[in-house]
Structure 1
Amino acid sequence: MSDSAALFADGAVESAAADAGIGPDRLRTLLETHQQGMRDLPGVDGLVYEWRTSLRDDPLVFADEAAYYLALPRRIWRQFADHHDMTDDEFEGVLSVHNDVARRAVADRDDADGGPVTLDDGHAMVLLKE
């Protein structure tokens, strides 16, 4: 099982796939392709640094030992969807899974640390650390 498959292993994929009208295997492939694409660009750490310094609002919500949790403008997400030739339904499915995983991670963090963390200012993206 790949690292991204482990991160996105629960019912989020099946639920998002059903809502988007696509197969769960296709959605898992898109999630893996997205993670690999992030590693193949300047790298995950480089992308997070670039977005933190170039975007008006810092998109990093928090990071843990495994991943970065970001809230990005939809236009950033759209670039990746276009690059991977995602249909609109596939794009919405990928967004949905990232949103679900990130919101659960935020809720777990809030429970553990007691401080509020929000994703309300953008579209969630979860990037596995290199």
Structure 2
Amino acid sequence: MTAPTTTTTTTNKAVISLTTGLEDAERVTVAMLVAFAAAEEGRPTLVFLTKEAVRLAVPGVATGTACAGCPSLADLIERYQTAGGTFLVCPICFTAKQLDETNLIKSAEIGGTVPMWRWIGDGATTFSY
């Protein structure tokens, strides 16, 4: 896992753990709002996708708008990626859903808890959705 290039300290890192996919689009929206805000503020930011959320790492899945007045999921993910945010996709969950590891959105890669802890290093602010 390649961490975003930054000059901030490790205590400025943010990790968002997301277990929910499009079955709860509002929860995904909130998680991505937190993620892109951290990334846009210059924090190295990682979204760890597990369970149904791994499907969001497949191109064309994160579409639609969760609620009236909410930004579209595609826009949130694009904004997050543009700000330098990355996705780490649980390999067990991804494989269990028989998804194609060669077909991931940009800034996403397959990796489990060990790469996540290595990325966290000395610490991070965490959120779980």
Q: Which has the higher helix share?
A: 1
Above 0.5 in TM-score? Answer: no
TM-score, normalised to structure 1's length? 0.32
TM-score, normalised to structure 2's length? 0.32
